[in-house]
Structure 1
């Protein structure tokens, strides 16, 4: 496995300064945002797709530092009920897939999106209860009319360009659990898989090790994020796991994102890494730092130090003791 980082963390720094800093930490890979929620401060598809010299310069900037690009990321809501919002996200995903093909990057990460509850809705509607039955009707309409048709088309487009789609399982979007991931993959094809982030499993009450095994056995893990979550039992009892309070209310929230090792111990992270190896995931573990208690540099550095202790890097050999 290789250790990487999602460079959106360093959006205030120029690309080459960011790459120098990441290389100095001994990392192997970078995941780079192309727009949407992550922004495009380090990688603008409109520029790179239309300027061969700048595309070459961009690729050399990464490779000359001994790094690879693990994924291009354009997290957004391509199924947003407001058509201009959806169109912008859809165009970004298309451009990012095209850019990934040119850069020979195997994965594009994004969200599945979440539609509204009817064709003329204004806002997304995320059904999370089976009753009253209205929610079941909404869910059926969303998947049959929006989720499956769109991702079937995108999966085909990506597959033709030797690119895989890594959907991040995230609350608020149609694909947010292993089950919803596998449901879409079965309908839309094997180009569609997970950008699995254990932090979003923990707050939903899902064991990330089991999520790895479930998705890994199906060959459905295309990319992996390394981010932690801490749970506050008293606040969970008050607000539940779907706590709607701002992330800034850290004393009051049921859960919050932490850097690796500060929500769960390294034994837990070693179990996650071992599960990834068990299901033959031998690609990049990409650090995503969204810890409200640590600076960018400190949170990133501690994540690197902790993951370097548990990451399995060397290739498998024969079982000499068998």
Structure 2
């Protein structure tokens, strides 16, 4: 496995300065934002697709520092019921796939999106309860009319361009659990897989080790994010896991994102890494830092230090003791 970083963390720095910094910390791979919520501070796909010189310079900037690109990421909502918003995120996805092919990057990360509850809706509707029965009707309509048709069509597009889709299992979107990912994968094909982030598993009450096993059994992990979560034992009893308070209310929230090792101990992270190796995932572990208690540099540095203690980098040895 390689240690990576989601470079949007350093979007305020010029690309080459940011690459120098992460390489100096022992990072081996970078995940680059190409639109949507991550933005495109370091990489504007339309410019690189239209200008071979800029494309070559971009490749050289990464490769000359001994780095590889693990994924291009354009997390957005291409199923948004407001057509202009959906189109913008869809366009980012399409350009990201085309650029990934040119860069020989195997994965584009995004969200599944979440539709509204009918054709003329204005806002996404995320059903999370089976009753009242209205929610079941909404869920059925969304999957049959929006989620499956979109990803079946654009999954084929990605496959034609030799790119896999890594959907982040994130609350608020139609695909947010291992089960919903596999449901979509069954319909849209193996080009669809997970960008698995343990932080979103923990707050939904899912054990990330078991999520790795469930998805890994189907060879459905295309990319991996390293981010932690802590659950407040008092506040979770007040607000539940679907706490809608904003992330800055850290004293009051039921859960919050932490940097690696500050939500769960390194034994837990070692178990996750070992589970990844067990199911055959031997790609990048990409740090995502969204810890409200730490600076960008400190949260990143601590995540690097903690992961280096548990990351399994070499190929497995023969079982010599047998």
TM-score bracket relative to the smaller structure:
over 0.9
Matched, 1:160 2:160: yes
CA positional deviation for 1:317: 2.2
1:305 aligns with 2:308: no
* Residues 185-230 of structure 1 deviation map (CA, whole Å, 9 limit, x = unaligned): 0000000000000000000000000000000010000000000000
Alignment TM-score, normalising by the size of structure 1: 1.00
Are 1:101 and 2:136 matched, yes or no? no
d(CA) in 1 for partners of 2:153 and 2:85? 19
Q: CA deviation at 1:316?
A: 1.5
Q: Give, in angstroms, the shift of residue 321 of structure 1.
A: 1.1
Structural mapping, 1:159-238, within 5 Å: 159-238=159-238
Match of 1:5 in 2: 5
Report the count of equivalent residues.
322
TM-score normalised by the chain length of structure 2: 1.00
- Cα deviation code 1:119-171 (max 9, x no counterpart): 00000000000001000000000000000000001110011111000000000
What is the CA distance between 1:103 and its match in structure 2? 0.2
Q: Within 1, Cα distance between the matches of 2:187 and 2:301?
A: 40
Q: In structure 2, what is the equivalent of residue 77 of structure 1?
A: 77
Flag as ranges the 4+ runs of structure 1 deviating above 2 A. Answer: none
Question: Do residues 268 (structure 1) and 244 (structure 2) align?
Answer: no
Unaligned 5+ runs, structure 1: none
Q: Show CA shifts across 1:252-287 (max 9, x none).
A: 000000000000000000000000000000000000
SS in 2 for 1:165: strand
The two structures, once aligned, show a CA RMSD in angstroms of: 0.4
Question: Secondary structure of the residue that 1:289 maps to in structure 2?
Answer: coil
Aligned residue for 2:234, secondary structure, equals helix
For 1:23, the equivalent position in structure 2 comes to: 23
**C-alpha separation between the residues in 2 aligned to 1:319 and 1:107?**
33
Q: How does 1:271-310 map to 2 (within 5 A)?
A: 271-310=271-310
Which blocks of at least 5 consecutive residues in structure 2 are unaligned?
none
Instruction: Return the alpha-carbon distance in structure 2 between the equivalents of residues 31 and 154 of structure 1.
Output: 21
